[in-house]
């Protein structure tokens, strides 16, 4: 498809992308995920490693290890996009059945609604500081931007990602330069008090951050030509996400270490205060708000894909009209905005724990999906059967659902959040390793129960494609 023939407003939704409509480059994948991670929430997440007791040196190493591990998992999902030409979550019908896939998808949708709400609160603060309006007005302005970008779809999202990457690089280079001039970073790195609990906390923070992208990362690679190298797609997405997140989290670690307890509760103002006042501060606030546009649009777009996938499974076809798309987006962003407005002064801490708790429910999904794609079906899907409850994949795949539920339950003793703490957490020094259990155990179980399942000899594409 030529550049001139590519529509600005995306007309596809959760249906298969024919080869004639494939476009884009691996570079755009890199910039999208770089821009999505060079943002304030990643800074705050990295800062938690220090706020919760870690030192700078070992926190940075732990975060980097977590980025590599979690980024590898999310990039394996991304590599599915060009080969299947489908959104990420609709492929869950292979593992759970056309109806059964609604179980993990509904929970994933709820989690991304939460991510959108928390991002809207932080962005609303930045817009309020930039415009002189109230935080509530800032939240509403930000929500309107998200609705527009999500409705326009794939091309606009990648365009925003490229701009966010440039703005993010400029802002972070400036902030790091300021940090170097106002503090002795070398002295911070010399303070080393290794603790397994703090180190593993840093690993878990970064790994969970990356793995959280898994349920929708292929949504943004599915337009690439099917001939795109899986390895190169893996590297482009993984490198962009790992590099962006690590840079942001390093800044968060250093900022929290220098804040002397003044970071929590005023994250946006403190980060901007590192830079300067006046015009420079205004530019930094703009950069923070624009950086959140990218990731919040990804969250809203992913939520739309999830809801459309659930509804289409019971309707028996997978096409979604533009008017239906707009209604879905308005509903998703509207719900997130209401949450942000109601809880902007109090809910972030508790709601973040709720979101982290929800990670428990889709880590096993990630394990099942990856094992099925790379070791059972080996990229061979029957695309038409994904919309047919009476087809190859059936209504409910009880084996896949059972493995998924076991994967959720087996994590419970190892979870550590304000919402729930498992009985084995104290013995592990307070560290949450549930995500490790939630990946490994379901992966092994699913391989054992599905390895003899009949699969197509080759990918079966829609007849009209």
Q: How confident is the model at residue 149 (pLDDT cuts 50, 70, 90)?
A: confident
Q: How confident is the model at residue 66 (pLDDT cuts 50, 70, 90)?
A: very high
CA dihedral of 177, 181, 183, 185, whole degrees rounded to 10:
50
The verdict on residue 464 lying in a domain is: no
Residue 465 has what pLDDT? 54
Q: How far, in Å, CA of 271 to CA of 184, rounded?
A: 17
Summarize pLDDT for 360-411 with one digit per residue, the tens. Answer: 888 999 999 999 999 999 888 888 888 888 889 999 999 999 999 999 999 9
Neighbours of 135 (CB within 10 A): 18
Beta bridge partners of 421: 416
Domain that holds residue 87: 24-450
Residue 319 has what pLDDT? 65
Summarize pLDDT for 206-245 with one digit per residue, the tens. Answer: 998 899 888 888 888 988 999 999 999 999 999 999 999 9
DSSP 367-425: HHHHHIIIIISTT--BTGGGG-TTSTT-S--HHHHHHHHHHHHTTGGG-B-SS-B-TTT
The verdict on residue 146 lying in a domain is: yes
Any idea what DSSP says for residue 12? Answer: -
The verdict on residue 6 lying in a domain is: no
Residue 2 has what pLDDT? 46
Summarize pLDDT for 433-448 with one digit per residue, the tens. Answer: 888 999 999 999 999 9
Residue with tokens 């990946």: 439
The verdict on residue 132 lying in a domain is: yes
pLDDT at 4 over 50: no
The verdict on residue 191 lying in a domain is: yes
The verdict on residue 264 lying in a domain is: yes
The CATH number of whichever domain residue 415 belongs to comes to 1.10.4160.10
pLDDT at 349 over 90: no
Q: How far, in Å, CA of 74 to CA of 181, rounded?
A: 36
Structurally, the chain folds into a number of domains equal to 1
The verdict on residue 436 lying in a domain is: yes
The verdict on residue 208 lying in a domain is: yes
Residue 11 has what pLDDT? 65
Question: What is the chain's mean pLDDT, rounded?
Answer: 83
């Amino acid at each position: 498809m030529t550049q001139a023939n590519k529509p600005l407003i995306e007309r596809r939704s959760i249906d298969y992308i024919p080869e004639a409509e494939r476009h884009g480059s691996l570079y755009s994948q890199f910039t999208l995920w770089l821009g999505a991670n060079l943002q304030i929430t990643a800074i705050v997440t990295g800062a938690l490693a220090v706020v919760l007791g870690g030192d700078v040196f070992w926190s940075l190493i732990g975060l980097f290890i977590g980025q590599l591990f979690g980024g590898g998992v999310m990039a394996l999902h991304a590599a599915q996009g060009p080969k299947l030409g489908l959104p990420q979550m609709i492929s869950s019908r292979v593992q759970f059945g056309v109806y059964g896939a609604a179980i993990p998808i509904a929970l994933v949708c709820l989690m991304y609604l939460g991510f959108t709400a928390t991002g809207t609160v932080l962005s609303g603060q930045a817009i309020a500081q930039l415009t002189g309006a109230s935080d509530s007005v800032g939240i509403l302005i930000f929500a309107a931007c998200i609705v527009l970008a999500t409705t326009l779809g794939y091309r606009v999202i990648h365009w925003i990602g490229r701009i966010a990457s440039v703005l993010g690089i400029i802002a972070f280079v400036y902030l790091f330069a300021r940090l170097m001039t106002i503090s002795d970073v070398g002295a911070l790195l010399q303070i080393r008090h290794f603790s397994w609990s703090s180190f593993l906390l840093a690993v878990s923070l970064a790994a969970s951050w990356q793995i959280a992208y898994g349920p929708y990362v292929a949504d943004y690679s599915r337009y690439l030509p099917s001939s795109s190298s899986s390895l190169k797609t893996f590297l482009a997405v993984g490198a962009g996400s790992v590099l962006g997140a690590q840079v942001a989290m390093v800044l968060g670690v250093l900022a929290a270490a220098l804040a002397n307890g003044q970071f929590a509760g005023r994250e946006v103002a403190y980060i901007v205060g590192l830079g300067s006042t006046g015009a420079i501060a205004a530019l930094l606030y703009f950069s923070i708000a624009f950086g959140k546009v990218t990731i919040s649009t990804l969250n809203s777009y992913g939520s739309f894909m999830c809801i459309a996938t659930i509804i289409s499974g019971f309707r028996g076809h997978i096409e979604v009209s533009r008017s239906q798309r707009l209604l879905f987006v308005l509903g998703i962003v509207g719900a997130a905005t209401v949450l942000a407005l109601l809880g902007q002064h109090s809910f972030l801490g508790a709601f973040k724990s709720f979101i982290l708790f929800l990670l428990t429910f889709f880590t096993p999904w990630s394990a099942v999906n990856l094992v099925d794609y790379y070791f059972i079906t080996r990229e061979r899907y029957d695309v038409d059967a994904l919309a047919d409850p009476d087809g190859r994949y059936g209504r409910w795949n009880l084996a896949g659902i059972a493995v998924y539920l076991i994967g959720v339950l087996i994590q419970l003793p190892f979870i550590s959040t304000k919402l729930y703490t498992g009985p084995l957490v104290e013995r592990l020094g307070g560290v949450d390793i549930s995500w490790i259990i939630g990946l490994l155990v379901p992966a092994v179980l699913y391989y054992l129960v599905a390895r003899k399942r009949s699969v197509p000899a080759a990918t079966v594409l829609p007849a009209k494609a």
